[in-house]
Homo-oligomer: A and B are copies of this chain.
Amino acid sequence: MGSMERADAARNRTRILEAAALLFAQRPPHDVTMDDIAKAAGVGRGTLYRRYPDRASIAVALLDEHERDLQERLLRGEPPLGPGAPPAERLAAFYAAMVGLLEGHSHLVLGSEVGRSRFETGAYGFWRAHVRALLTAAGTPGPDALVDVLLAPLAPEVYLYQRTVLGLTPERITEALTTLTGALRGPE
Contacts and interface: CB of A to CB of B under 8 A. Distances in A.
A112 to B, nearest CB: 14
B149 A168 contact: no
Interface string A147-188: 011001101011001100110100011011111111101111
Which of A155, A165, A179, A188 has the most CB atoms of chain B within a 10 A radius of its CB?
Answer: A179
Copies of this chain, complex-wide, total: 2
Interface stretch (A9-17, A32-40, A48-56, A138-146): A138-146
A48 to B, nearest CB: 23
A162 B152 CA distance: 11
What bracket does the count of chain A residues touching chain B fall in?
20 to 34
A142 B178 contact: no
Given A158-B152, A185-B182, A176 B145 contact: yes
A119 interface: yes
A179 B188 CA distance: 8
Contact of A155 (B155, B165, B172): B155
A117 interface: yes
Given A148-B158, A149-B153, A155-B155, 5 more contacts: A119-B161, A145-B168, A145-B173, A180-B180, A182-B182
